[in-house]
Chains A and B, each alone.
Chain A
């Protein structure tokens, strides 16, 4: 019944891990893309200004009176100053001869001697610099003069700005991740919630509650719930079929036996011959034996079946036993056995009334069966803090000591039975019933005097 279900991880955890790692990767990509983009932007910006500076310096070059003059405009460097506090270097050459600026400053390699502008990165004085070189061909009295201007700028400021931007971007990425994480947890929770609700509502049910699940469920769960409902429907049907089958079986077996027995008994009253009478008596005994066995077998089947689907309710044990005693009194009277039930207040236990009734009936039945005429059967209760015992005592032959341990086994009858009819299932049923209720059955003989003393223990509620 209670095979442990094998787990294959948790949907919630899986969702969390997947969504969170997704969010993490996205946040990282966002960070890298934005950082790369701003870096490019900053570099492009520096390059553009360097270009503009170089161009403006070159534009200032002119031939005056056969002399090359370059009046470096102020704006050429002030533009660079606007970008950052980085240091600026320049170098001007004429036909590759150093004219002014920093002699050692490298030039950007020109692909072709007359290419317009060239940008490159180099190391200068131990610092990384971005440099732009451009040339211009002037004509000095018909002689071509190649002016080359290189302007360089360190990139510290830009790096600082980039670091600042990186921090901002990483904060943005982190914020993005946090929001995604919160949403993830929430959505994992809300995805699992209907599942949880379904599980709770199914497990809250009593064992007999096989109604279909009626509460609305998300579309994805419809096939599951549908299958569950169909399964419960089938279970319900097969349960009631088994119950019906057992009941019907009892009916089928007992009805013809009843006819047979009645006929035999009537015939017994009509015939006189001793041999015939003896044969009829034997017949009646055999009928009783088989009908008793059939009845007990089917009762036992039903009890076994019912203990799996125990239908417990609060019940008053004393009242129930009282009803049973009244019901069995006519049978006890036939042997002039007086059944006495201790009176008192209600005794509440949780139990399945039909099963408990059947168990107690079997015990009273035994007490009457194994007792002599004109004796007493006494029913009383005993209480402890957490258990309640129903004691059934008789003045009969008592249990044989050596048999006591086995009598609750199926079909086991004691060595004391003599000619009494039985099937050896009464104590089995009683034992099964109390066990199913978390109680126990005790089989003793009375401490004083003759007779058996059987106690059914139930947990009190």
Chain B
């Protein structure tokens, strides 16, 4: 999927871009309102991540103008301002959602997915592995054309694997992807989710392989 990130803080922007590409997305980066306008003029995006405080203006202004020119792409505002402080919230100005900095990447991903799903329609991010089809946008997994119901955590675990097939993930890394840093979870907690996912993938061409003492990886038959 194609993202536009409008963020003037370079370190933060780089981290977000890295994370997006880690998840298999393509992203353009604008550092000002003006470059954002330039990008929007020439390309179409599936999602825009918009910082509110920009060096050459207010992201809210960009938001208003974009919506006034009937721009349809969903927008998630990134703001470090307090939610109570703005009488006219970004949602009223046409943003689909907002995220208060600093944020958890899993929350960013969750919100992106929710927004794109709500948008409905065209956006799809389908990956096919033999008899198994995964749509990263709707978060739907189907095996032999039978769609499966996965819990959020199972889905996120699956996504970690699908974005990097055959790559080995230690339990500790998977814990970091799946649980918020608040939760004090033991590494074996991940075994529960791997077991559940395996069960879901029973008849699929996707298999989760255990590498003794090292972790797990996804293999495609």
Q: Which residues of A contact B (CB under 8 A)?
A: 243, 246-247, 250-255, 257-263, 265-266, 268-269, 272, 274, 277, 281, 284-285, 287-288, 291, 295, 298-299, 302-303, 306, 327, 329-331, 333-336, 354-355, 357-358, 361, 369, 373-374, 418-421
Contacts and interface: CB of A to CB of B under 8 A. Distances in A.
Interface of B: 9, 11-12, 15-16, 18-19, 22, 53, 79-87, 97, 100-107, 110-111, 113-114, 151-153, 156, 170, 172-173, 176, 180-184
A255 B102 CA distance: 7
Which A-B residue pairs are the 3 nearest by beta carbons?
A: A262-B15, A247-B85, A258-B101
A243 B103 contact: no
A333 B84 contact: no
A451 B15 CA distance: 38
B95 to A, nearest CB: 11
Q: Point out which of A277, A295, A330 has the most chain B C-beta atoms below 10 A from its C-beta.
A: A330
Contacts of A419: 182-184
24 contacts: A246-B85, A247-B85, A250-B81, A258-B80, A260-B102, A262-B12, A262-B102, A265-B19, A265-B104, A266-B15, A268-B176, A269-B173, A277-B172, A285-B182, A299-B82, A299-B84, A302-B85, A334-B110, A334-B153, A334-B156, A336-B151, A373-B153, A420-B182, A421-B182
B18 A266 contact: yes
A274 B183 CA distance: 18
B110 A259 contact: no
A403 B118 CA distance: 41
A272 B171 CA distance: 11
Nearest to B118: A326
A246 B82 contact: yes
A254 B15 contact: no
A61 to B, nearest CB: 113
A184 B126 CA distance: 90
A259 B170 contact: no
B72 to A, nearest CB: 20
A228 to B, nearest CB: 25
Nearest to A287: B102
Q: Point out which of B15, B19, B87, B101 has the most chain A C-beta atoms below 10 A from its C-beta.
A: B101
A258 B102 contact: yes
Contacts of B113: 330
B82 A261 contact: no
Contacts of A299: 82-84
A419 B186 CA distance: 13
